[in-house]
Every structure is written in C-alpha cells, then in structure tokens.
Amino acid sequence: MDVYLQTLLSGLAIGGVYALIALGFSITFTTTKTLNFAQGEFIAFGAFIGVTMLLLFSGLASTTTAVPSEAASAWRYPAAVIAAGAVAGLMGVLIFLLAVRPFAGKGGMNWVMSTLGFGVMLQSIGLAVWGPAPVMVPSPLGDDVLRIAGAGVRPQELLVLACAILIMVALDLVMRRSRIGKAMMAVAHSPQIASLMGINVGLIMIGAFALSSGLAGVAGVLIAPIASASLFMGIGFALKAFSAAIIGGLNNPRGCIYGGFILGVLESAVGLWQAQWREIVVFGLIILVLAFRPAGLFGQAAVDKV
Amino acid sequence: MTPKHTALKAALLGSALAMSSAAYAQEIKIGFNGDLSASPSAQSGQAGVLGIQAAIEDINAAGGVLGRKLTLVVRDDLSQPPKSIQNMSDLIDNEKVVAVLGPTNSGNALAWKHIPNQKKNPSIGCIGSATDITKPASANAENYMYRVSMVDRAQVAGLIAYTKNNPAIKNVGFLVETTGYGQGGLKDLQELAEAKGLKPVATEKFGVNDTDMTSQLNKMKSAGADAVLVWAQGTPIAQLVRSMEKINYFPVTLTSWAADNASFFDTAGKTLAEKPIFMRTITEDRTPKQQQLFDRLAPKMASKSAFSFAAHCYDALMITAAAIKQAGSTEGPKMREALDNLQAPVEGIMKTYNKPFSASEHEALTAADYRWTHWKDGKLVTYTDDVVKALKPTDFTQ
C-alpha cells in the first residue's frame, strides 16, 4: 500500500512541474497560435535569475555549486520567485517582438526556428554569465522528508504542487471572469474580429508571451531546489511539459494541467513496472491521443467554418 | 624618409620575423581537446588544462625537451562529438601538435579514436574513463590511444570484489542510468558479476534528469537487495540517495566515481552524501607531491573536487615528455615505440611510473592505484572497513 501511495505522491509532485510549464505553452498557443520553443531555456534562465536574486537579497556569497541555505529563508525565496518571473516575463516580451511577431500569423514555420534560436542564444548568454556547473538551491521549507501515511515527500515538492494548483485556479478565474481573459479568448478565436471589436490585439499577444515566459521563470525557481539549477535543466522538463500539453489539449489550459498530472503519475507508475519503458509508454500514449483525439483528451476539436 | 631608410627598416623587420619564426619552429606543440565550457563536466576539462600547463611550466623551467620548449594548444570541443572530431584534425594537421591530451567526455574520445591511429599521433587521455577508449581497433593493430586516468571496468571490478567479499551482503541489485555511460557500466557490471559468480536479484534503470527514483527503489527493496551497485553521473546518484531517504531504505551503496562531483554533494546534502562508497584516484588525504600541486593550482581551480584531473593530466604530459626524450624525436611512430617501452621512471603526481605502458597495456593507472573513497564532513576521504582491508590485488582481476 505504501508503495502505491509513494508512486502517486511522487508522480503528482513531478506532475505539478509539468503542469506549470504546460500551462505556459497553452497560453501562447491559445492567443497567438504560436509556441515558444525556448520555454526550456526560460526555465533554466529563470532558475539562475532566482539564484542571483537569493544571493543579492541575502548578501551571502555562493560557493561555485551551492547557494547557502540561509539565503532562501523568510521573504527572500518568494521575492526571488517574483523577480525571476518578472525578468523572464520581460524576456518573453523580447522574444515576442524579435522572434515571433515578424512571423506570427503568416504561413510557414519561421517562428519555430526563431524561438529555438532565441533559446540557444539565451543558453549561451547564461553559460557566459553563470558557467556550466549546476547550482543547488535550498528550499525555503527545509529539506527534511515529510511522511504521509508511510510515503515520503519533500516539502518543496508539496510547494510546487500547491503553487501549480494555485496558479492554475487564479489563471482560470482570470481567463473566464475578467475582461482581459475574455479579450485573450477573443484574440485566440480570431485576431481580426477581436481587433474590429476594439481589442488591442498586439498588446494581448505581448501579454500572453510575457505571462507564459514569466510562468517558465517561476517554474525554474520552484524546480531548482528539487532538480538543482542548471542551464541544461529546462530541455527535459519542457519536452515532457509539451507532451503533457498535447495529451491534455493545447488549446485548453485546464486540460494542460490535467495532462501534466496524468503524465507525472503515469511515469511514476511505469517506473514501478519497468522504468526503461517509461519514455516508450509516454510517447506511445501521445501517438494514441493524437490518433484518436487530435485536440487532446480535454481539448475541444476546433471546427473551421469557411 | 629616404628610400635607403625604408629598405633598412624592411630588412630589419624581415630578420626579426625570421628569428621569431625560427624560435617558434623549435617549440614542441602539445594539443588539448576537450570540453571547457559547455557541459557540467567542463570543470574537469578546465582542471585538466591547469595540470598540463603546470607540467609544461616545470619542464620548460628545467630546459625543455630535446633542448626545445613545450607549448600547449587548447581547443574547446563544447562536449559535442562532431566539434571534437574537427578539433582533432585541426590540432594534428594544421597546428602540427605531436600529441593530444584530453578529451573531457568519453563519448568524444570514442568518436575520434580512429584519428590518432590513422595519423600516427599519440593521444593520452587523462579525464574520460570509458573502458573502450584505449582498446586497439583490432587485435594486433598499432594503438596510439593511451590513458592516465580511471578506467570504468577496473572500478567495476573493485565494486564487484567488495560485494563478493562482504559476508553481510546477501542480495545485490544493479541500478544504472539510461545514458551511454550507464549502459556501458551495466555491461561491465553484468560481465564481471557473471565471471565472479554473482547474480543480481534485480536490475533497474533511471533517467539522467530524474528527480525521483522511489519506484525503482521500491522494486529493489521488495526483491530483498541489501546492496546496490550504481552506475550513473553525479546528480542522478544524489537524487537516488534522496529517494532512498523518502522510502527509508538504505542498502550498502557502491557507486561509480561520479559521486565525487561537487554537484553530487550539493544535491544530496551533507548527511545523505556520506552514504555511497566509491573508488577514486585521489582523496583529500593527499601525498606531499599532490598537496604541492594542489596548493599551486587551488587559486585557479573552480571546482576543488576536479583536482584529480589536474593531477592525471600533469602526469600525462610528463609521460609524453619522457617519451619524446627517449625517442629523441617527435615523430608519432617513434613516440609510440617509446611510450610502449619507457626505460626511465617518470616522477609523477599520482606515483612514480615504472614502465607505465606496454604494447598490450595502455593504462597507466590500474585498480591497485585507486583508493576507496567516501564523503565525510564535506570532504572526500579514504574509506576503510574490514572488507576493504582484506581485499587482495587478485580480487580485482577482470
């Protein structure tokens, strides 16, 4: 029994990370019909902005590979999360203006290459500033294992889970209840019509990229105490999160969240059987979903009316 | 200015250039090709270069080799095999280096090991530890690949010997990561375990970026494993011991030497980092010679735990210089003959090398030179217990 509970808990913990990043993919896709393929680098970049902020706020020196645990205490960690989100959000505005807007809405796939390229640039800049070594980031809640009915989990994993759910609920409310959310949905539906209705389409699109990149930055600082901050950390998470978004449905933010949790628990459960089959099972599921429910498990099939 | 003056100036300039290029031609160039910037292992490459530079300074201060100074030509391969292959051709064909040291990543050495053999230019590895790097292309082929570093298979032999000779260990399990490194280690583990009559009760794999291995560990636990042999890089080994804590399952944990990385220590945390036992060439109980080099390089070294690579690479350069001296030439085939049969002992940082290589043995360091190591109070120190004390060199046979 312990074993299954452990599997579920471990799966939900990693699923929360996937969900948070998958949400970012969904936000840009629903508003601009483009994706930010540099999302992985934004996660890593965000994590290192967080590291820099923690050191700056606490005035402590870092060893080359670890941030001292006092640096994350009290208000500093939340402040670092917000700062990383803000900086990554600004970078998101940049990537939209430089790498997406020139190509968005036009045929072709130029934005795929230009966002990938932006990611490579971001990683190179990161390597020049912070170097290649991974840096361990302390959790603000300490590192002692918590026991829930015999299964062990670390406080940071619960924190990520809680943040993922909180951000999801907040975003869901904004999207469905507020004027901004409705404007975003209108732009997603048809930029031309939204523009005729007096919505500033350009601004909404910039906002979507800022929000999505900001989320990636926040995710970076949240994951860093679990996976340690590294400029190479993002790619794996981003790929899994993108898979989660496909499974849940790219055009449905809620679906992306469910997709993230499903993927996390599935991975953990497959590990209980044969861990080396994990990727095969995950990507096999994606092919099945694409074949039978192209819009994702929770997505609504878009009907193009001529 | 009169034409006469111009001509004089040109003549002076010309002769100055000729002199400098003559001095240039007399220098013996050694190459380094390895990752210095792009992956977490870049720190090992940086330490290696520091070691080579220190050795070159020492040799040049003593008058050089064959009356000529040594210089180092460094190429960063960004840990990418294609770039590493390109660097080899550039170093050997354009820069005319007489030997290449490095690389940082085993995979890159495996990608270009045919080049030193084809171009008859010795390569002395001092970082990467994959077993196959120094294997000849065919049984009697001329082999220009040498190494002064750890060898995976020799480490595996050590771990198996420990398991086999520890009466407290009843059931053993293998845990490896799914990369080439992990799979190579698993192959060595399985072959050597079978040769020694050791049968694992379970074999489990995990991804290099996984942050939770509780599922795999729960399977180990239910299979009754009281010891696990782990082959993975530093960070995943740290995640593994963190997962052990989650399910409160702590078997005897023997790992690859990647557990010596600072990133392992930082990720695992001070207490959990003390769980794994592994083999390493240097611990912090340094010999006086090692301490001397450590003190000399410490201000420039980003990661102190990468010091072993500085020492290996220092020795690799010393052995290369000894080979040039004995051959009386920098021609590849003559250097290879000298390397295979070095007459004078070479004073190194790790040890004094008496005939480090032969035609069939291209490893300068073997299991007997390794030390059992673990983390204690944030330091890499020598590990010892009754099992280690009772181990004999014959237990390490491969």
pLDDT in tens, B73-113: 999 998 889 999 999 999 999 999 999 998 998 889 999 99
pLDDT higher than threshold 50 for residue A84: yes
What residues contact B87, with CB distance under 8 A and at least 6 apart? Answer: B33, B75, B77
**CA-based end-to-end distance of chain A:** 55
Closest CA to A230 of B363, B208, B394, B317: B208
Residues from B in contact with A at Cβ < 8 Å: 37-40, 42-43, 178, 204-207, 209, 211-216, 218-219, 222, 235, 242, 245-248, 262-263, 265-267, 269, 302-303
In this prediction, residue B13 has a pLDDT band, given cuts at 50, 70 and 90, of low
Cβ of A228 within 8 Å of Cβ of B222? The answer is no
pLDDT higher than threshold 80 for residue B149: yes
H/E stretch holding B218 reads: helix B214-222
Cβ of B222 within 8 Å of Cβ of A3? The answer is yes
Cβ of B246 within 8 Å of Cβ of A268? The answer is no
What average pLDDT does the structure give for chain B? 89
From the list B38, B209, B215, the residue facing A275 with the nearest CB is B215
pLDDT at res. B22: 47
Cβ of A143 within 8 Å of Cβ of B209? The answer is no
pLDDT at res. A85: 94
Amino acid at A287: I
**Domain B25-150+286-365's class?**
alpha beta
Spatial contact of A239 and A263, defined as CB atoms under 8 Å apart: no
Structural domain contains residue A266: no
Structural domain contains residue A4: no
In this prediction, residue B6 has a pLDDT band, given cuts at 50, 70 and 90, of low
pLDDT at res. B189: 94
Å between B199 CA and nearest CA of chain A: 19
Å between A299 CA and nearest CA of chain B: 29
Mean pLDDT of A223-233: 88
Spatial contact of B362 and B323, defined as CB atoms under 8 Å apart: no
Cβ of A127 within 8 Å of Cβ of B215? The answer is no
pLDDT higher than threshold 50 for residue A167: yes
Closest CA to A36 of A110, A95, A90: A95
Plot region of B252 (φ>0 → left; ψ -120 to 50 → alpha; else → beta): beta
pLDDT at res. B317: 97
User: Who wins on pLDDT, A104 or A168?
Assistant: A168
Closest CA to B282 of B189, B397, B379, B159: B379
* B chain contacts of residue A145, beta-carbon cutoff 8 Å: 245-246
pLDDT at res. B50: 96
Spatial contact of B169 and B229, defined as CB atoms under 8 Å apart: no
Structural domain contains residue A272: no
Break chain B down into helix, strand, coil percent, rounded to 5: 50, 15, 35
pLDDT higher than threshold 70 for residue B1: no
Q: Enumerate the β-bridge partners of residue B174.
A: B203, B229
Say whether B375 sits in a helix, a strand or coil: strand
* A chain contacts of residue B303, beta-carbon cutoff 8 Å: 64-65, 133
pLDDT at res. A105: 64
The Cβ-side half-sphere exposure at A261, using a 13 Å CA radius, reads 15
pLDDT higher than threshold 50 for residue B193: yes
Amino acid at B226: D
Residue with tokens 């409705």: A182
Alpha carbon distance A60, B200 (integer Å): 47
Q: Does the model's ipTM exceed the 0.90 cut?
A: no
Closest CA to B349 of B319, B304, B306, B382: B319
Cβ of A152 within 8 Å of Cβ of B245? The answer is yes
Structure tokens at A50: 């967080």
What residues contact A49, with CB distance under 8 A and at least 6 apart? Answer: A80, A83, A84, A87, A88, A217, A220, A221
pLDDT higher than threshold 90 for residue B54: yes
Å between A187 CA and nearest CA of chain B: 37
Q: Angle B214-222/B234-247 helices, nearest 10 degrees?
A: 60
Alpha carbon distance A189, B4 (integer Å): 83
Antiparallel, parallel or unpaired: β B352-353 and B346-347 = antiparallel
In this prediction, residue A274 has a pLDDT band, given cuts at 50, 70 and 90, of confident
Q: Hey, is the C-beta of A301 within 8 angstroms of any chain B C-beta?
A: no
Is the omega angle on the peptide bond into residue A134 within 30 degrees of 0, that is, cis?
no
In chain A, which residue's Cα lies nearest the Cα of B245? A145
Q: What tens digit of pLDDT does each residue of B334-392 get?
A: 999 999 999 999 999 999 999 999 999 999 998 888 999 999 998 899 999 998 888 88
| Residue of B76, B267, B304 to mutate, testing the A interface (most A Cβ within 10 Å of its Cβ) | B267
Q: What tens digit of pLDDT does each residue of A177-204 get?
A: 888 888 888 888 888 888 888 888 888 8
In chain A, which residue's Cα lies nearest the Cα of B246? A152
Spatial contact of A218 and A46, defined as CB atoms under 8 Å apart: yes
pLDDT higher than threshold 70 for residue A1: no
Its domain, for residue A83, covers 15-146+153-231
pLDDT higher than threshold 70 for residue B17: no
* CATH of the domain spanning B153-280+371-396, picked from 3.40.50.360, 3.90.650.10, 2.40.240.10, 3.40.50.2300: 3.40.50.2300
Q: Hey, is the C-beta of A6 within 8 angstroms of any chain B C-beta?
A: yes
Å between A48 CA and nearest CA of chain B: 15
Say whether B123 sits in a helix, a strand or coil: strand
What is the pTM assigned to this prediction? 0.82
Cβ of A134 within 8 Å of Cβ of B245? The answer is no
Alpha carbon distance A42, A92 (integer Å): 9
Plot region of A270 (φ>0 → left; ψ -120 to 50 → alpha; else → beta): alpha
Alpha carbon distance B377, B273 (integer Å): 9
pLDDT at res. B21: 47
Reported for B80-83, long-range contacts at CB under 8 A and 24+ positions apart, including other chains, are B80/B38, B80/B108, B81/B107, B81/B108, B81/B111, B81/B112, B82/B111
* B chain contacts of residue A153, beta-carbon cutoff 8 Å: 246
Structure tokens at A90: 């600004």
Q: Hey, is the C-beta of A294 within 8 angstroms of any chain B C-beta?
A: no
- Helix/strand/coil (H/E/C) assignment for every residue in A203-254: HHHHHHHHHHHHHHHHHHHHHHHHHCECCCHHHHHHHHHHHHHHHHCCCCHH
Å between B262 CA and nearest CA of chain A: 7
Q: Hey, is the C-beta of A132 within 8 angstroms of any chain B C-beta?
A: yes
Spatial contact of A244 and A22, defined as CB atoms under 8 Å apart: yes
Alpha carbon distance B29, B90 (integer Å): 13
Cβ-based contacts under 8 A for chains A and B: 104
From the list A66, A127, A271, the residue facing B215 with the nearest CB is A271
Closest CA to A56 of A73, A76, A84, A81: A76
Q: What tens digit of pLDDT does each residue of B224-245 get?
A: 999 999 999 888 999 999 999 9
Q: Hey, is the C-beta of A230 within 8 angstroms of any chain B C-beta?
A: yes
Cβ of A10 within 8 Å of Cβ of B212? The answer is yes
Write out the residue limits of the CATH 3.40.50.2300 domain(s) in chain B: 25-150+286-365, 153-280+371-396
Cβ of A133 within 8 Å of Cβ of B214? The answer is no
pLDDT higher than threshold 90 for residue A104: no
Mean pLDDT of B125-129: 92
Number of domains in chain A: 1
Residues in chain B: 398
Residue A304 neighbours by CB distance under 10 Å: 4
Q: What tens digit of pLDDT does each residue of A39-67 get?
A: 899 999 999 999 999 888 887 776 667 78
Alpha carbon distance B306, B371 (integer Å): 16
Residue with tokens 């989660």: A244
Å between A68 CA and nearest CA of chain B: 10
**Sign of CA pseudo-dihedral B177, A8, A236, B36:** negative
pLDDT higher than threshold 60 for residue B18: no
Q: DSSP secondary-structure letter at A74?
A: T
